[in-house]
Structure 1
């Protein structure tokens, strides 16, 4: 009864005729009433009681964001726990001499990069709750079986299949957020679940510290139990996703029909201009795939993405060893990674809320990498292993500078791609090519260069500088395109420009529509 009363209060402060409500739409929103494109999303919000607006968004938040956060926490723990297993005895048991450990890290990223675009294409064809559940079960199973490997070759094979099964989750999760929230609401939500990646380092170190004490139980080494126990968790969670993970606003059973209409309309009209509309109900076609691959701005965004992936994957796989070689025991090194990741998590969330508030992305990409540059320069200048306290402090700047820009980069591209099929492919393409940086990141921290790691810190420093330059170029291009479209509307008039196209043609144009405005 209480739910019924709340849904009845979701009423327009104006009337249906004023809002231009219609029962059908060219975007095929499952029979929901849609609003004419002459209205902006802010105008739609203004016609609803603001308490109800906040209630609906909280309702979506509680259902979607924590679940994605848990999944990403599990995924990131499973891909990065090899660093904890290494110093827990795996290196000796599997005879990881020379570059063998780096090779085991590298092989993960080959299928991980190649499978992301196909995975998001499948996501558009299947229900996300089905596809993500399959992925979660598979990567958990592979991780569990990794605890049974007895040779270096077995570890390499297991890491290959871990990369294959984990590949689809992150692009699927980030895309899923863009069909539920407006463009300046996405990054803060993405940061909350991406913060799980920062927390994973803390959890992984804490869990490894505890699990390592299981050494010898059932005849298995402690590092094997790290893989087994941390793999069983996603297997268990996967069986709940079909029932818990919502697919899209149009079919969300936890929302009333009025709430679904509200969500669909405010997302469709939030294009940065009152004269346009975008759709999330389009079908995947080759035209959208070609459009995504042909957008040079996605490829430019790969450079700052590489700065994050090269630095982050090398850092997470090496930081326990870096700290241990400062003179600490293996157990203390595990625990000392925790504060670094917690600080990075807090900074990532703060930056995301700030970026959404000021409706900007590129300044925070540039600022984040600037912090990382300071951290890497310090690591290169410090005479390792002397001054361990100073070296440890600058690890905080390194982590902060690598984690904070990441959600800004992904959100920038997600904000600037439409319709949803092009966005699904474009975001997966960015993440796919960007994650190839993990191949580099896994091979630049060379064991023979410990504890100074000049190659690792030096390459990461260079990529941060490139990331700053690329972000500046993207800002200039998006700003230029917005200016040209504003001049067109001002010169010819909104009605005259709109008369050139049908409603469906404007939807098909997506971010190429003269009414679409890019996020800077």
Structure 2
């Protein structure tokens, strides 16, 4: 009886699915003909690739956008506010009240990143084994509790301890968010959604400044200093959001309640077709195998994406934790320094989204890593070259170049990594590996702004410049390697490929399949 019901349900799903274009027309490159229209890449048949522009496709994806993206944006915003508010607490008097030395403060910043890096891959493995909304609810509730405990620490040792535990609890969120987006969207729909996370990360700097300014005014309430209320209020809010996640965060197309059966099937079919060629297919629901771990960790290209990621983490974490202090040292009051961070991060958010929109529209990635990193590089050079005492306003102007450049570049990079890894287990592990080791740049970034070098910070600015230059060089290497692989695969005929491999072997090969095309 159960089998009969199941067959009937499947028949209904497939019957309803006929209203959607299962094999729509799309072109998969940014080349244009003389009329300005996109044309297919040489050697590719565009007749069976997923449609990114069809009206019905847009209607279905809007339903996903309204339910999934705002929740992930909110969670990422909370994550970055909670991670970076220690910089605002410092300006509000935390270091003085806890009698922290410069080395103790830097240690508190650095210790966060050790568990933050180590627990990202294990967290994404757990994410594949239980419902994402349950796992993320556990993570948010845990780190919100730890954030609240920041507000009652009484010594350097206590601060260092809670920062370590916070890193452990926050570790799994971003790899999970990046992976979840790849479970819903095809390759050239992805970056605009990923960029919204980094827009929220950039805005978190503005919100942290505003909250830091407002909560500092609670100084004396309940007998507590204002900086303690920054941690307590923000931590309580995080816990409340975490508790609600099982009811507010969609887990997967199969488990969501806001799509019809036909729409669920339609999303899954599009993801399976998103290999870059008409004959290629991707596995989207494969079981775990250890070879996905070994093949990911042994892929040298993953390590080059990590080097590119370091261009972000070394620069952005050092900047996030130090920006209020840099502005304070330009001659502004502590309250104005908090507020003056806001326009910097708002500008960065706008730039990040604009770059993502262009990258998806042009259907390419590498220029949108190199370009934004170059913008950030110019910002660091400007800050270093401008006399601080004579031109504080000009120094403040150069600061606008930094967040937008590093956030926009890493938003593109995360999309690029997700675009070029298959099947889903390899993507989950690859994204987590890139982010895990990439975030180790935070260990460097939190130790390069040396207090005795204020207000020039030659070491901090110089090391950031070096990592940005290295990231740009590594981007050109990956662009060359993936372009060469695509050209070699274009020389193979489909008849030759299917005579050599079975369909299951091609599916198991994932991005190593000769039918797969890398995004450049």
**TM-score between the two structures when normalised by the length of structure 1:** 0.91
Output one character per residue of 1:279-326: Cα deviation in whole Å (capped at 9) or x when no partner: 221122211011110111010111110010000000000000000010
- Aligned residue in 2 for 1:304: 308
3-state DSSP of counterpart to 2:112: helix
Distance 2:503 2:245 in 1: 36
3-state DSSP of counterpart to 1:275: coil
From 351, 358, 363, the equivalent of 2:362 is: 358
Output one character per residue of 1:167-216: Cα deviation in whole Å (capped at 9) or x when no partner: 00000000100110000100000111221100100000001100001011
Contact 1:77 1:204 in 2 (8 A): yes
Distance 2:346 2:308 in 1: 23
Distance 1:128 1:466 in 2: 35
3-state DSSP of counterpart to 1:252: coil
3-state DSSP of counterpart to 1:184: helix
- Aligned residue in 2 for 1:497: 497
Contact 2:16 2:261 in 1 (8 A): no
3-state DSSP of counterpart to 2:500: coil
Change in Cα spacing, 1:235 to 1:361, as seen in structure 2 (3 Å) is: same
Distance 2:110 2:358 in 1: 35
From 458, 461, 464, the equivalent of 2:462 is: 458
Change in Cα spacing, 1:13 to 1:402, as seen in structure 2 (3 Å) is: closer
- Aligned residue in 2 for 1:218: 222
The alpha-carbon deviation at position 50 of structure 1 amounts to 3.5
1:449 matched to 2:448? The reply is no
Contact 1:417 1:426 in 2 (8 A): yes
1:182 matched to 2:183? The reply is no
**Residue pairs, 1:283-302, within 5 angstroms:** 283-302=287-306
Uncovered stretches (5+) of structure 1, i.e. residues with no partner = 1-6, 20-37
- Aligned residue in 2 for 1:519: 519
Output one character per residue of 1:7-38: Cα deviation in whole Å (capped at 9) or x when no partner: 99974477x9x99xxxxxxxxxxxxxxxxxx9
**Residue pairs, 1:272-421, within 5 angstroms:** 272-421=276-425
- Aligned residue in 2 for 1:35: none
**Residue pairs, 1:56-67, within 5 angstroms:** 56-67=60-71
Distance 1:142 1:39 in 2: 53
Change in Cα spacing, 1:41 to 1:156, as seen in structure 2 (3 Å) is: farther
Contact 2:282 2:507 in 1 (8 A): yes
Change in Cα spacing, 1:240 to 1:327, as seen in structure 2 (3 Å) is: same
Distance 2:20 2:252 in 1: 26
The alpha-carbon deviation at position 250 of structure 1 amounts to 2.4
Distance 1:241 1:98 in 2: 38
Question: How many residues are aligned here?
Answer: 488
Contact 1:366 1:471 in 2 (8 A): yes
**Residue pairs, 1:196-211, within 5 angstroms:** 196-211=200-215
Distance 2:290 2:188 in 1: 29
From 148, 151, 170, the equivalent of 2:152 is: 148
The alpha-carbon deviation at position 419 of structure 1 amounts to 0.2
1:119 matched to 2:129? The reply is no
3-state DSSP of counterpart to 1:249: coil
**TM-score between the two structures when normalised by the length of structure 2:** 0.91
The alpha-carbon deviation at position 502 of structure 1 amounts to 2.6
Contact 2:202 2:404 in 1 (8 A): no
Contact 1:40 1:270 in 2 (8 A): no
Change in Cα spacing, 1:440 to 1:41, as seen in structure 2 (3 Å) is: farther
Distance 2:342 2:516 in 1: 43
Output one character per residue of 1:143-184: Cα deviation in whole Å (capped at 9) or x when no partner: 011111010100000000000000000000001001100001
- Aligned residue in 1 for 2:236: 232
Q: Which runs of 4+ in 1 moved over 4 A?
A: 7-11, 38-44
Distance 1:482 1:115 in 2: 34
Contact 1:362 1:475 in 2 (8 A): yes
Contact 1:41 1:270 in 2 (8 A): no
User: Does 397-406 or 447-456 show the bigger shift?
Assistant: 397-406
Contact 2:347 2:400 in 1 (8 A): yes
- Aligned residue in 2 for 1:476: 480
Distance 1:214 1:13 in 2: 56
1:250 matched to 2:254? The reply is yes
Contact 1:66 1:193 in 2 (8 A): no
Change in Cα spacing, 1:234 to 1:13, as seen in structure 2 (3 Å) is: closer
Contact 2:49 2:276 in 1 (8 A): no
Contact 1:419 1:511 in 2 (8 A): yes
The alpha-carbon deviation at position 507 of structure 1 amounts to 1.5
3-state DSSP of counterpart to 1:386: coil
Distance 2:341 2:300 in 1: 38
Change in Cα spacing, 1:382 to 1:13, as seen in structure 2 (3 Å) is: closer
Distance 1:343 1:142 in 2: 31
